[in-house]
Amino acid sequence: MGSTPVIALENVRKIYPLPSGDVHALDGVSLAIEKGEFVAIMGSSGSGKSTLMNQIGCLDVPTEGTVRIEGQDIGQLSDYDLTALRRDSIGYIFQKFNLIPLLTAFENVEYPWLLRQRRYDDTGRVQHLLDQVGIDAALAAHRPSELSGGQQQRVAVARALVNEPAILLCDEPTGNLDSKTSTQIMEMLAALNHEGRTVIMVTHDAATAEYADRTILIQDGRIA
């Protein structure tokens, strides 16, 4: 018997009740992702891939079925525990970078660490991560608005890693970047996967999906 999958979905349905009729955003999705896998999720707009990402990312719970993240059934968790699971087990990388505009690059990376550790970083870990993604201390003192798109996404990668999450969840990570920077970011993600991290990535781009070990295609709320 193999090890427990880090992500396991069993017959997951997500139904949005609307006056015009229920929308089945996910319609019986079952999926298992093992630790250390690099999985690309592809699908057209409205196929249900964002809904699937929200389930895996613990931002939402299923209407039916179960979603287990590191063995925990997220449907049974309180908002507090779900939030803690997002903080501790999932590192998000968004298409629009989603850095906190009020904080510097350094503080953006430090923020999830503070939420978890309740103390400031005195180990040098934050700057070490920033160095790894190519952001030096001088650049790290800048606000996100003072950085280029590529630099912001690098900071976002460092932020996603700071709490050593089991899963890196990337939503169109290269969607707002030029091709050169896209390649750099994808190589960075591939390298992280080689180090043993589980990477789940939603993408439109077939070239980007080639970095993944496995591609899952979503169509009309089902795995095609």
Partner 1 sequence: MKKPDIIFRLSLRSVRLNLLRSVLAALGIVIGVVAIASIGMISANMTLSVAEELSATANVLVVKPDTGSGDSGFGRESESNDDEDDYLTNDQFNDIRKAAGSSYVYYLYSESDDIETGSTSGRATIYAMDDEAMKDILSLAEGSFPSTTSQVVVGPDFVERYDIEVGSKITIGDEDDEEGEVTVRVTGILEERGMSMDISSDNAIITAEKFFTGRYGGEDEYTQVNVVVDDINDIDAITESIDESLNRKDDEVQIQDSSRMLNTISSTLGTLTSFALAIAGISLLVAAVSIFNVMMMSVTERIREIGILRSIGTQKDEILRMFVYEAAIIGIVGAGIGAVLSLLIGYVVVFGMVGTTEYFFAWDSLANVPEGMIVGAVICVISGVYPAWRASNLDPIEALRAE
Handedness of CA 146, 158, 69, 72 (dihedral sign): negative
Check residue 120 for interaction with partner 1 (CB under 8 A).
Answer: yes
Check residue 71 for interaction with partner 1 (CB under 8 A).
Answer: no
Q: How many residues bind partner 1 (CB under 8 A)?
A: 29
Binding residue for partner 1 (CB under 8 A) from 63, 66, 72, 98? 98
In whole angstroms, the minimum distance from the beta carbon of 207 to partner 1 comes to 26
In whole angstroms, the minimum distance from the beta carbon of 94 to partner 1 comes to 8
Instruction: Decide whether 137 or 207 has the Cβ nearer to partner 1.
Output: 137
Residues in the chain: 224
DSSP assignment string, 48-104:
SHHHHHHHHTTSS--SEEEEEETTEEGGG--HHHHHHHHHHHEEEE-TT----TTS-
Stretch that binds partner 1, among 11-19, 57-65, 187-195, 199-207 (CB under 8 A): 57-65
Q: What angle do CA 213, 155, 217 make, to 5 degrees?
A: 25
Check residue 112 for interaction with partner 1 (CB under 8 A).
Answer: yes
Give, in order, the Cα–Cα distances in Å from 152 to each of 51, 87, 139, 168: 25, 20, 11, 17
CA distance 84 to 41: 25
CA distance 105 to 142: 6
Check residue 23 for interaction with partner 1 (CB under 8 A).
Answer: no
Instruction: Decide whether 16 or 219 has the Cβ nearer to partner 1.
Output: 16
Chain contacts with partner 1 (rule: CB under 8 A):
54, 57, 59-60, 79-80, 83-84, 86-88, 92, 94, 98-103, 107, 110-112, 114-116, 120, 159, 163
